[in-house]
Structure 1
Amino acid sequence: MTSDHRLAPIAPGRLPLIGHAPAMLRDRLAFLQHLRTHGPIVRIALGTKSVTVVNSPELIHQMLTARSNAFTKGLLFEKLKLFGNDALPVADGPGHLTRRRLMQPAFHREQVTGYVRTMRDTAASAIGAWREGDELDLKTEMQLIAQNIVMSTAFSTTPRPRAAHTILTSVDTLFNAALRRALLPVPLLDRIPTRYNRRLARASSTLHHVVDGIITDHRARPDDYNDVVSLLLDARDETGAPLPDDDIMSEVTGLLAAGSETAAVVMAWLFHELSRHPHLEARLHTEVDTVLAGGELTADHLPQLTFTRALVQETLRLYSPGWLVTRQTTETVRLGDYTLPAGTDVVWSPYTLHRDPGLYPDPLRFDPDRWLPNRRQPPKNAFIPFGAGKRQCIGDAFAWTEMTVVTALIASRWHLRPAPGTRPVPVGAITVHPSALRMNPEARRADGAREAA
């Protein structure tokens, strides 16, 4: 993304307008990174909209914490209501707090620790099917693993391979539609029965059918389940009434969608970086072999996997899945030297924040050691892959645990090598995913030597 317009002088209280940004649809990540050179807050014209971009970590923190009541979740999250109007990830206002309090018990750290065995067994089933000589589409493999993990832990079900692929394709279709509608907001086109909109309707119907089946089975056999769906079915409001069926459907669908994307792309990027840095892969293998000592991975092992976690953290920094987060002001808001009127569309980018050379030395270098205790840590509020404040992702502990478990499990069994010609570049879709990442698995022994599969 580029702009031919010069930055206008910044008068106190006024925001610079960096012309139109048609290239945002071609090179979104580069354009947002370029905007950081223009100051803490700037404006761009996106189609017919004027959008305010917040770059400063201090002002982002204000927006997400002290001033959060003055913002709704904004345009992108409005379009994500394709997954359900009132699901926690897109809910606003008092309903968000109510729903978050309802869902929180399923995501307490102690509860997440209890999911480790299911995470391990679900991932082990997938990677146990790999064979030397296979060529894996690693992003899709990781998405399927992540999707099955959230379904097995939260819904007590794991779909068959063909059904899992169908679910994943439907989720991807809806995510792509949400992003497209946010960047090219033409409401009339959303209602025309084009081929694209018909495909979108089929994807939505597929997810609705899957989730309806899960809920129906839980209702038919309530004593057989103790999971997130059970929690939603048992919930009562202040009058003692159960949650409406549409609300339950929205929550389950939203959780399924969120669980199939963020952790998956991080793990795909992590193994790409390990293939580029054999010395880091060797350190990971040494740690995993030492900690597990040939046994099955358990929750007790996680605190000892310090380098594994550092690898996850550095991947979250360099390839932060959230490249575009939206907000909209509900009242006049003062951020730093600037006043944002009510109705202002605001965006910020974890991806560009985490690659800012003013915050991270040599920011494009993959360096997991930057997170070790003896190294100077980045400034406060400079690392927020899951957001901050009352809207911080409810599933952050779940994602940290899942990524650590899956990384260690794969490292205990496989080397992953890039297929010939594979040169992935970051693409700003609903998350930052690799353009193409095909890898070949090579079996390994605990001593690091290769063996026949």
Structure 2
Amino acid sequence: MKSATEYPGVSSEIGSPVFQFSRMENLLRGHSVRTVAVDGVSAEFVTDPVLVRRILVKDSKNYGKGELFRKARNLSRAGLLTEDESVHRHYRRLTHPYLRTAAVAEYAQVMHEIAREAVTSWRLGQAVDVQAEMCRISSAVALRTLFHGVPREASALLGEHLAALSWEMMRKPLYGKAATRAERQLSSRRLSRTRADFRGLLASCMADLLHSPDCTEGYLSALLTDSGKHGTPVLTPDEVCDEAVMMLTAATVTTASVMSWALYVISQDPLIEEKVLKDMAQTGGESVPLGNGHGPVGYTVRFLMEVLRLYPPVWITCRRTLSDVTLGDYSFARGTQVLFSSYLLHRNPDRYPDPYRFDPDRWLSIRPTTDDASYIPFGIGAKGCVGESFAWKELEILLGAVIQEWQLMVEPGSRVRKAAETTLHPRRLLMVPQPR
């Protein structure tokens, strides 16, 4: 019988909780599965990519959402994040028309306009809070593309509040002991306040939209008009609001986190920057293969793939066994919490030689495979990210809009640290723009 090892994942650095990835790696090194305790809760940490794929794909029906999904379920329990598999499938099908490849291609012009307007408002030599800006841009993109029929002024106001909510969501600790009690309470109060502000505005817009002839297009309209067998709404207005908040924040926080890392990496390596700019000039900014990022790809795509490898926004995941299960040579009782980390899987030296080196050209010889979970920035299987095509196109457009206009440099004297919270993001990233 294995004994649980308390996971020493957090220490204090300059008054801020810092997740210690090196300690996590040392603890798990050499173990396909190891029993750990996180905040006093026993869990099985799986590091074998073949076993992780089995959890997510082959045996997915045997696993439900685990402890780390509580924050997301606080946003919505009725639609995509429901425990009911049939309901989950229904809402995946409902979102598909608005996130499929053809629809995303139609959003490109709007994405370009929003990104261009935002980055041209920056000022020469004036430090930019990159994460706040990426939240602001991606919030506007999500609202303008998915929520048709909302007046432009209302959409702009919603965008401001969504950006604030997304930033609070990004930096909320995943683990209860990742901060002092006072810090947790302050974070919870800020998050509750910003969520209430955004949700109130959204509910008002929804009420107006229900009585508008424009309530026929877009994802929000699909939620509002979704009906059951007898023509009655499937979701209550409150549930529609919760589902919309969940979708919008998920789209915003992940994009903002990845873009922040992408801009930081480019600022640290002029050669990489030069190659991305050259590739964009040659392809006209249309190099990303929508929907997967697999197959022969150009340098910009390889660059984004490498950013997602080293800095996956959803860096750790928890599942709970719904029955007694066997996973490889291990047996887990019903109710067991099972953890795995894309951060670790993406740094597996057996899969990625020199795994800590940022090398976009590794993707010339390595291809993401469906045989295991060595590369899962968007997850895999029936519950993989429903917005993957949307994310690829948005990342490509935002990256191009920024670096074709500006050369960014980290503010002198600042040190960029990883913050492993609801997403994996830079703890603070101030950058100074210089004209291209």
| TM-score, length of structure 2 as denominator length | 0.87
Count of residue correspondences? 417
Counterpart pick for 1:267 among 259, 264, 268: 259
Counterpart pick for 2:202 among 211, 226, 229: 211
Which residues in structure 2 correspond to 1:285-434 (within 5 Å)? 285-292=277-284, 302=288, 306-372=298-364, 375-377=365-367, 380-381=371-372, 382-434=374-426
Deviations 1:31-51 (CA, angstroms, capped at 9, x unpaired): 332343041111112233101
**Would the alpha carbon gap of residues 38 and 415 (structure 1) be closer, same or farther in structure 2, given more than 3 Å must change?**
same
| TM-score, length of structure 1 as denominator length | 0.84
Which residues in structure 2 correspond to 1:177-188 (within 5 Å)? 179-181=174-176
Q: 263-272 or 95-104, which moves further after superposition?
A: 95-104
Tell me, in whole angstroms, the C-alpha distance in 2 between the residues paired with 1:213 and 1:437.
Answer: 34
User: Aligned letter for 2:224?
Assistant: L
Deviation at 1:384, TM superposition (A): 0.8
Deviations 1:302-332 (CA, angstroms, capped at 9, x unpaired): 5598211111111000111112111111101
Tell me, in whole angstroms, the C-alpha distance in 1 between the residues paired with 2:117 and 2:297.
Answer: 22
Tell me, in whole angstroms, the C-alpha distance in 1 between the residues paired with 2:57 and 2:244.
Answer: 27
**Would the alpha carbon gap of residues 32 and 97 (structure 1) be closer, same or farther in structure 2, given more than 3 Å must change?**
farther
Deviations 1:176-232 (CA, angstroms, capped at 9, x unpaired): 557245979x9xx9xx9x666544432331121122123123213232762111111
Q: Give the RMSD, CA atoms, in angstroms.
A: 2.7
The percent of aligned pairs where both chains have the same amino acid is: 29
Which residues in structure 2 correspond to 1:76-87 (within 5 Å)? 76-87=68-79
Deviation at 1:83, TM superposition (A): 1.3
Tell me, in whole angstroms, the C-alpha distance in 1 between the residues paired with 2:323 and 2:232.
Answer: 34
Contact in 1 for aligned 2:45/2:340 (Cα 8 Å) = yes
**Would the alpha carbon gap of residues 218 and 163 (structure 1) be closer, same or farther in structure 2, given more than 3 Å must change?**
closer
Deviations 1:114-140 (CA, angstroms, capped at 9, x unpaired): 111111111111111012112011111
Q: Structure 1 unaligned runs (5+)? A: 1-13, 445-453
Counterpart pick for 2:5 among 18, 29, 32: 18
Tell me, in whole angstroms, the C-alpha distance in 2 between the residues paired with 1:231 and 1:100.
Answer: 12
User: SS of the residue aligned with 1:222?
Assistant: coil
Counterpart of 1:155 in structure 2 is 147
Deviation at 1:91, TM superposition (A): 4.7
Counterpart of 2:292 in structure 1 is none
User: Aligned letter for 2:203?
Assistant: D
Counterpart pick for 1:75 among 53, 67, 70: 67
Contact in 1 for aligned 2:78/2:239 (Cα 8 Å) = yes
Tell me, in whole angstroms, the C-alpha distance in 2 between the residues paired with 1:253 and 1:241.
Answer: 22
User: SS of the residue aligned with 1:433?
Assistant: strand
Counterpart of 2:41 in structure 1 is 49
Contact in 2 for aligned 1:135/1:439 (Cα 8 Å) = yes
**Would the alpha carbon gap of residues 223 and 317 (structure 1) be closer, same or farther in structure 2, given more than 3 Å must change?**
same
Q: 212-221 or 363-372, which moves further after superposition?
A: 212-221
Counterpart of 1:201 in structure 2 is 192
Counterpart of 1:93 in structure 2 is 85
Deviations 1:374-400 (CA, angstroms, capped at 9, x unpaired): x24466431111111110010111111
Deviations 1:345-376 (CA, angstroms, capped at 9, x unpaired): 1111111111122221111111111113xx24
Q: Structure 2 unaligned runs (5+)? A: 12-16, 290-295
Counterpart of 1:167 in structure 2 is 162
**Would the alpha carbon gap of residues 46 and 165 (structure 1) be closer, same or farther in structure 2, given more than 3 Å must change?**
same
Tell me, in whole angstroms, the C-alpha distance in 2 between the residues paired with 1:359 and 1:58.
Answer: 12
Counterpart of 1:7 in structure 2 is none
Tell me, in whole angstroms, the C-alpha distance in 1 between the residues paired with 2:142 and 2:260.
Answer: 17
Contact in 2 for aligned 1:167/1:206 (Cα 8 Å) = no
Contact in 1 for aligned 2:39/2:177 (Cα 8 Å) = no
Contact in 2 for aligned 1:262/1:431 (Cα 8 Å) = yes
**Would the alpha carbon gap of residues 370 and 195 (structure 1) be closer, same or farther in structure 2, given more than 3 Å must change?**
closer
Deviations 1:241-278 (CA, angstroms, capped at 9, x unpaired): 22321221122111111011111111111111111110
User: SS of the residue aligned with 1:223?
Assistant: coil
